[in-house]
Amino acid sequence: MSTHQRTLGAALVLALAAGLAGGAAATAATAEAGRTPGATRLQEILDRLTTVDGGPGALLDVRDRRGGTVLTSGVADVRSGRPVHPESRFRIGSATKMFTATVLLQLVGEGRVDLDAKVERHLPGVVRGHGNDGRRVTVRQLLQHTAGLPDFLDHLKPQEIVRDPLAHRDARDLVETALAHPPVFEPGTGWDYSNTGYLLIGMIIEEVTGHPYGDEIRRRVVRPLRLRETSVPGESPDIPRPHPRGYAHTGENAPLLDITRINPAVGGAAGEVVSSGGDMNRFLAALLDGRLLHPAQLREMTTTRPTGGTDGRAYGLGLESKPLPCGGRYWGHTGDFLGFETASGATAGGRQATVMVNAGPGGSDAQSDDIGVALETALCQGRPRTSR
């Protein structure tokens, strides 16, 4: 799992824990697993997420050209003990960036945006005053986290969210909050994950099309692929049913905090989308198959640079790449929004997987690690082992 991403959940959970009422401790309930050795191994990992790692519930949806399997463990609601529904909807957090980047790259393919154009062309004055180099920031740099812009999540005032979690928070105001601080580095000279860049990408989409970025995601991605379980909720704090409750860990041996209802606009084009395991897998399959982007734009999206970690992770334009333990690489994105931690990935060979735990952030590193293990194990099943 990604350790370089600053997420909405990580920025706010401590303040939320102090300001809101907590929930009850989770109990584990395991869904019926398949009888193949592979399904048994995956079920063991999911059960570890909901027992040893402390997540209330977990879901894994894995698909290939022959069909799909959904495994669940634990509970969707710690009070009622309701099990996790196999078609659950949940907040995908930073995996939203794949949708936002896809729309922007479609506009590139239409000749309406130039990846190497300065942001100033589309958003005059928004980034200009940021140090001496604001006017040098390009669209590509926003997409690839090489612009050097500070992350607005580092500078939010959590107590404001605590006082009114349903309040509207405007993307431009969040950008201004970030840009009131010095740049992390000069544009194009480093790599640092910044949600601010994706708020700006959303603003560019709106400037170019004349429509809200969420409408463009629906028109260009959700409807053509018939992603019936995917939505861009805007100001709505509600998740369509069926969905698990979303919880945050508030400390060791402390009760879980129910934070299901929050205005998701604070995540904006960087983290707002709600989806399901099945829809995420269908989206990734279509993206890598070239059904959403022209070949030139898909090549741009999958042209990566290292992120500086030791796990071989690299970042393209809204899309991550990471080595698989069985050889080769997979493409996808992790996500973390208050109450949920997710990871989605796909191989070039046509296998996709999505993992969800309805608790995040504030849990142990083991939860993130085991989400990654579940994802990579699912993607490796059925593949011959090859050398790296």
**Complete domains list, the chain, with CATH:** 8-380 (3.40.710.10)
Of the chain, the percentage scoring pLDDT greater than 90 comes to 72
Long-range contacts, 155-162 (Cβ 8 Å, 24+): 155/180, 155/181, 156/11, 156/12, 158/11, 158/12, 158/14, 158/15, 158/16, 159/15, 159/19, 161/12, 161/15, 161/16, 161/262, 161/266, 162/12, 162/15, 162/16, 162/18, 162/19, 162/20
Helical H segments across the chain, by residue range: 8-19, 37-50, 96-109, 119-122, 139-144, 158-163, 171-179, 195-209, 213-217, 268-271, 277-288, 295-301, 365-380
Average pLDDT, the chain: 88
Residues with Cβ within 8 Å of 79's Cβ and at least 6 positions away in sequence, in order, are 23, 24
pLDDT at 12: 54
pLDDT at 386: 37
Q: How far apart are CA 109 and CA 102, in angstroms?
A: 10
Structure confidence at residue 9 (pLDDT) = 57
pLDDT at 96: 98
Is 73:49 a contact under the CB 8 Å cutoff? yes
Rounded to whole angstroms, the Cα distance separating 117 from 139 reads 6
Distance CA(149)–CA(84), nearest Å, equals: 39
Amino acid at 8: L
CA atoms lying within 13 Å on the CB side of residue 87:
7
Q: Which residue has the higher pLDDT, 32 or 335?
A: 335
In the chain, the amino acid numbered 193 is Y
* pTM: predicted TM-score of the whole model, two decimal places: 0.91
Cα–Cα distances in Å, from 163 out to 6, 20, 80, 91, 145? 22, 9, 27, 22, 31
pLDDT tens, 211-221?
999 999 999 99
How many angstroms separate the CA atoms of 162 and 79, rounded? 23
Q: What is the pLDDT of residues 31-74, one digit of tens each?
A: 443 446 678 899 999 999 999 998 999 999 999 988 999 999 99
List 244's β-bridge partners, or say none. Answer: none
What is the rounded CA–CA span in Å between residue 106 and residue 9? 30
Q: Does the pLDDT of residue 133 top 80, yes or no?
A: no
Contact 141, 183 (CB under 8 A): no
DSSP SS3 for 70: strand
CB 126 within 8 A of CB 178: no
**What residues form DSSP beta bridges with 74?**
57
Instruction: Kindly list the catalytic residues.
Output: 94
Which phi and psi angles does 354 have, rounded to 5°?
Answer: -135, 135
A 10 A CB-CB count for 80 gives 10
At 205-243, the pLDDT tens digits run: 999 999 999 999 999 999 999 999 999 999 999 999 999
| pLDDT tens, residue by residue, 378-387 | 999 865 443 3
State the pLDDT at residue 134: 63
